[in-house]
Amino acid sequence: MYENLVDRFLTYVKIETQSDVLSDTVPSTQTQVEFAKKLMTDLKEIGMKEIVYNDANGFVTATLPANTDKYVPVIGYIAHMDTADFTAENVNPQIHEDYDGGEIILNKELKIRLSPKDFPNLKNYIGQTLITTDGTTLLGSDDKSGIVEIFAAMEHLIDHPEIKHGKIRVAFGPDEEIGIGADKFDVGHFSADFAYTIDGGPVGELQYESFNAAGVKVLIQGKNVHPGTAKDKMVNALKLAIAFNEALPSHEVPEQTDDREGFFHLLSIKGTVEAATMEYIIRDHDRELFIKRKQLMRDIATRLNAPFEEKRVKVLMKDQYYNMREVIEKDMTSVELADKAMKNIGIEPIIKPIRGGTDGSKISFMGMPTPNIFAGGENFHGRYEFVAVESMEKAKDVLIEIARLAAE
């Protein structure tokens, strides 16, 4: 089982599956479609049933039938196929056995190093087997670790029928990294009582609280006049953009916040005197504070528009997802089961809010509580990404133990 997990991981991370925020197809890239087809073949090979690819949402789903006659809730395990917006072609994973706690040379020619001076979390993995990048791409542990852990857990349960379990549903979906993957998830077809996304970081993470999230586009219309004759005529869109940003709380930004503190995050600004566009995201765990953040941006636009006869500043806002705690806390069965499963195999659960969101944030509001479990990777979305083989093994063990506990 150890060999299967590692070999499958090395195979999967070499397959390019980056999502594309500019695409209007589902999935957003054809490489994800091709990967989905491979997953279907591999699911069949290990003995899974009811393997389906949904053209409408890009999800592959499959079933491990129950091997007990007693009533057991149907559990779902979910992971995403796509990787993030960083170089993802020609991934060349490197294996480092018995890590000694020192600096790892990722790429000698380019002088790229993975150092505990920059990443103290490396010290948590002394003596373990690490899989890293070669310094030129991301690794793809987010979330191909989750995929192979689900595969490994299903293989183990199939090979060990003495472990009693109820019906288990699995799903592998697209476009999580661009925030739209779960938008069309078919909860009715999946038909689980509750589920887990296997998409967290270090061992022990168990998360059922996420941000409330919105995307914001600020459109600013200026008036460009020759600067020599601009007095009382020119309206500089760039200066209005600066004024808008300066009106936001300067300390409520990602680089100065932590834990449950929310923020405004300026993603991009572009333009000229004539017109400018800014893109933001708003995040807050508290729904009331989230609403106030959105209103503050509208109020700033109103204030900046006041001196003009026409609206110069327009705020376009769209909610992206909500704090899944609002749903999950009404029935904590899924969290309590995962908590007990981790403790049973010697893992101390780390229960803290996600400073982000998962597919589970959206799926929970579709009526299926879906907390998030660790997948084991660290330093996601870049050249310094790594995962310990032992972490993936522990994630697999947690999924097996959840299934076993549910059938007791």
Among candidate residues 176, 193, 378, 397, the one labeled active-site is: 176
Q: Provide φ and ψ at 307, rounded to 5°.
A: -75, -10
Transcribe 125-150 into DSSP letters.
GTTSPEEE--SSS---HHHHHHHHHH
H and E: helices and strands count for the chain: 10, 17
The pTM for the full model equals 0.92
- The whole-angstrom separation of Cα 355 and Cα 55 is 31
Residue 281 near residue 229 (C-beta atoms within 8 A): no
What gap in Å lies between CA 218 and CA 279, rounded to an integer? 6
Task: With residue 239 as reference, give the H or E element that holds it.
Answer: helix 237-246
**What is the DSSP secondary structure assignment for residue 122, as one 8-state letter?**
G
- Domains of the chain, by residue range, sit at 2-209+323-406, 216-321
At a CB cut-off of 8 Å and minimum separation 6, what does 38 contact? 15
Structure tokens at 7: 């070999």
244, 296 Cβ separation under 8 angstroms: no
Which residue, among 203, 274, 270, has the nearest Cα to 234 in the 3D structure? Answer: 274
Q: What is the pLDDT along the chain (408 residues), one digit of tens a residue?
A: 456 899 999 999 999 999 998 999 999 999 999 999 999 999 999 999 999 999 999 999 999 999 999 999 999 999 999 999 899 999 999 999 999 999 999 999 999 999 999 999 999 999 999 999 999 999 999 999 999 999 999 999 999 999 999 999 999 999 999 989 999 999 999 999 999 999 989 999 999 999 999 999 999 999 999 999 999 999 999 999 999 999 999 999 999 999 999 999 999 999 999 999 999 999 999 999 999 999 999 999 999 999 999 999 999 999 999 999 999 999 999 999 999 999 999 999 999 899 988 899 999 999 999 999 999 999 999 999 999 999 999 999 999 999 999 999
Residue 385 known to be catalytic? no
Catalytic annotation present for 176: yes
Choose, from 42, 82, 142, 385, the residue flagged as catalytic.
82
Which has the closest alpha carbon to 244: 315, 304, 317, 308?
304
Q: Are 403 and 172 in contact (CB under 8 A)?
A: no
Q: What is the CATH number of domain 216-321?
A: 3.30.70.360
Amino acid at 235: V
CATH 3.40.630.10 fits 2-209+323-406, yes or no: yes
